[in-house]
């Protein structure tokens, strides 16, 4: 069995979905702290008439200190939802793939629940199914292990009795990969380089949320994600 790890994130980029296609289970690290400063957990990029634009989910922060992802709540959810849905329709409303997916996104976002994780998990499941993937998500809180850094990842891998982990190629800068080898777990690195595809609004923009890819190519976007992937054993 091969597993991957990722913090629950808002409409992730294509690299996340490509990696999902090559693992048997994806562990969502919901019991980890939200990073200080910039993070992709609650923001990503889409494309409009002026090019790429950042979409950020506002979070309740005042008086809450450092928060774990599982505890995050959306600030002024009703107004943010209204603006975000209007933005999606403006940017992608002419897509032949727009209405079915948009109606489901609207249903999820119009839920009165303000828990960020509930919204993100529902969107992840929606996009997973829309791309035709079947890989199950497992939340860290369901596993019941806490910690941080490499030791947390190794502990989860051992708990799930996996033989292999697939990590983003960027992990070599942040994860002590040798710790997996010491526990008898093989490490594979996922290299991702998405080629250009037909987009709305002129010149191509790379590394957007995969929501852009779906609205442009529909379920066939999965083929491009797989084509953009290269998996190599470490070291």
Q: Is the pLDDT of residue 163 over 90?
A: yes
Over residues 73-90, the mean pLDDT reads 98
Read off φ and ψ for residue 218, nearest 5 degrees.
70, -155
**pLDDT tens sequence across 173-210:** 999 999 999 999 999 999 999 999 999 999 999 999 99
Alpha helices in 75-166, H assignment, sequence order: 77-92, 98-109, 116-130, 140-143, 149-159
Closest CA to 209 of 191, 231, 225, 185: 225
Q: Is the pLDDT of residue 150 over 90?
A: yes
The average confidence (pLDDT) of the chain is 97
Q: What is the pLDDT of residue 123?
A: 98
Q: What is the C-alpha separation between 209 and 50, in angstroms, rounded?
A: 16
Instruction: Provide the whole-model pTM.
Output: 0.96
The proportion of the chain whose per-residue pLDDT surpasses 90, expressed as a percent, equals 95
Number of H helices and E strands in the chain, helices first, is: 9, 8
**Checking DSSP bridges between strand 137-139 and strand 25-28, what pairing results, if any?**
parallel
Q: Is the pLDDT of residue 112 over 90?
A: no
Q: What is the pLDDT of residue 63?
A: 86
Read off φ and ψ for residue 206, nearest 5 degrees.
-95, 165
Q: How confident is the model at residue 37 (pLDDT cuts 50, 70, 90)?
A: confident
């Amino acid at each position: 069995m091969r597993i991957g790890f990722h913090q629950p994130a808002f409409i992730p980029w294509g690299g996340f979905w490509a990696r999902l296609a090559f693992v048997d289970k994806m562990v969502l690290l919901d019991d980890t702290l939200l990073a200080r400063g910039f993070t992709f957990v609650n923001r990503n990029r889409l494309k409009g008439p002026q090019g790429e634009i950042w979409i950020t989910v506002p979070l309740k922060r005042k008086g809450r200190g450092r928060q774990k992802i599982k505890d995050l709540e959306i600030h002024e959810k009703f107004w943010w939802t209204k603006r975000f849905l209007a933005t999606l329709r403006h940017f992608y409303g002419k897509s032949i793939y727009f209405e079915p997916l948009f109606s489901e996104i609207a249903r999820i976002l119009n839920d009165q629940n303000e828990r960020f994780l509930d919204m993100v998990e529902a969107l992840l499941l929606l996009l997973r199914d829309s791309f035709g993937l079947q890989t199950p998500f497992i939340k860290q809180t369901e596993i019941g292990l806490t910690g941080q850094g490499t030791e947390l990842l190794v502990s989860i891998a051992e708990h799930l009795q996996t033989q292999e982990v697939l990590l983003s190629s960027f992990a070599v800068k942040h994860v002590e990969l040798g710790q997996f080898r010491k526990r008898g777990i093989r490490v594979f690195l996922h290299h991702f380089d998405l080629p250009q595809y037909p987009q709305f609004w002129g010149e191509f923009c790379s590394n957007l949320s995969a929501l852009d890819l779906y609205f442009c190519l529909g379920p066939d976007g999965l083929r491009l994600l797989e084509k953009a992937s290269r998996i190599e054993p470490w070291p």
